[in-house]
């Protein structure tokens, strides 16, 4: 009997739960155009990765990269975080 992760879904419970959430979000987002699911996937993944989890009280993005994501609107509006980052010397970056 092969019990590696691809063959034994129970060992992959957290991934299966995350996939279920992502599939539900895609279904909500595409509504009447199921063939266009791939066009919305990047937006759904961005939202999922930048939403805090109850277990960690933080976002998966922050856990991976050590800081919150800088949203495109923050760059366009020159948020305080972006302004401070622009003033950092190269050696501190």
Question: pLDDT by residue (tens digit) across 41-53?
Answer: 888 999 999 999 9
Arithmetic mean of pLDDT, 57-86 = 80
CA nearest 9: which of 17, 55, 48? Answer: 17
Residues 6+ apart with CB under 8 A from 32: none
Domain definitions of the chain by residue range: 1-49
- Say if pTM beats, i.e. exceeds, 0.85: no
Query: How far, in Å, CA of 23 to CA of 44, rounded?
Result: 9
Q: What is the pLDDT of residue 17?
A: 84
pLDDT in tens, 2-39: 555 666 666 677 788 888 999 998 888 888 788 888 88
Q: What is the pLDDT of residue 40?
A: 87
What sign does the CA torsion over 57, 61, 66, 68 have?
Answer: negative
Hey, is 15 helix, strand or coil? helix
Cβ–Cβ contacts within 10 Å for residue 44, how many?
A: 19
């Amino acid at each position: 009997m092969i019990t590696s992760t691809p063959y034994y879904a129970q060992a992959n419970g957290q991934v299966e739960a995350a996939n279920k959430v992502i599939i539900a979000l895609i279904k909500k987002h595409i509504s009447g155009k199921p063939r266009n699911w791939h066009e919305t996937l990047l937006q759904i993944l961005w939202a999922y990765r930048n939403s805090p989890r109850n277990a960690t009280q933080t976002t998966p993005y922050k856990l991976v990269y050590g800081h919150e994501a800088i949203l495109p609107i923050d760059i366009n509006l020159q948020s305080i975080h972006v302004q401070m980052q622009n003033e950092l010397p190269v050696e501190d970056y």
